[in-house]
Amino acid sequence: MADHKRIAMFISGRGSNFMAIHQGVERGEINGRIVTVVSDQPEAAGLDYARSRGLETAVFSLGGGEKRIAYFDHITANLADKDVHLVVLAGFMKVLSANFIARYRNRILNIHPALLPSFPGTDAQAQALAYGVKYTGCTVHFVDEGVDTGPIVLQAVVPVLDQDEVHTLSERILEQEHRLFPLAVKLFCEDRLEIRGRRVLVHASEINPARLP
C-alpha cells in the first residue's frame, strides 16, 4: 500500500460527512490521514468532534473588510507545511478563490445534494422539489472555478416521494452522501481516479456505490 494521503477537511457546521470520512480512515478503509480540519465558523459542531479525536483544527473567520483572495491566501499559508494531497469540502460554505483552486487543482473534492449538472448552487433539494423531478441524489465532483461545474467522480440516485418535503428529501440524500463521499476519498487516496477532460475514470471493476465501506 502506498503512503497515506494527507487530507485537509473543510467544514462550516456539524460536519457529518467529515465524520463519515474520518470513521473510514479510523477503520483503515481509507488510505489517508486527516492532518487538519479547517472551518470558517468558530462554533461549528464538527470542530468539537475533531478536537475530541485529537485532530488539529484551524478557524478562519472572514472579517467584514477582508477580501476573499486574501482570506484564502491565509488558509493556503496555513496548509503550506502540511504537505496536503487532498482538500475535502464537507459542507464548507465559502466560495473558494481562484488562487486556492489553482494551488490544489484536481485535488479538491466536494459533494453536492443533487445529480449534477441539475440544480447547482444553494437549496438544491428545494430546487428539485419545485421542478417536480422523480429522482435526485448527490454528486461527488472535483472543484473548478465554476459553481458545481467540476468533473464528476461518483453519483447516487435518490427517488423523490410524493409526500417529500425539503427536510425529508434532504435526510435521505444525506444517507447516500455518507456512503458516497468516503468512497470517493478512498478512490483518490488509492490513486484510482483519472481525469480526462470532463470525464473521471475510476480504475476499479468491483466498485458498486450501493455497497460502500
Catalytic (active-site) positions:
112
The DSSP annotation for 55-121 comes to --EEE----TT--HHHHHHHHHHHHGGGT-SEEEESS--SPPPHHHHHHTTT-EEEEESS-TTSS-S
Tell me the CA distances in angstroms from 43 to 12, 46, 61, one per residue in order: 9, 9, 11
DSSP at 50: H
Q: How far apart are CA 75 and CA 59, in angstroms?
A: 9
CA distance 122 to 136: 15
The grid coordinates of residue 62 equal: 472572514
Quick check: 42 and 195 in contact, CB under 8 A? no
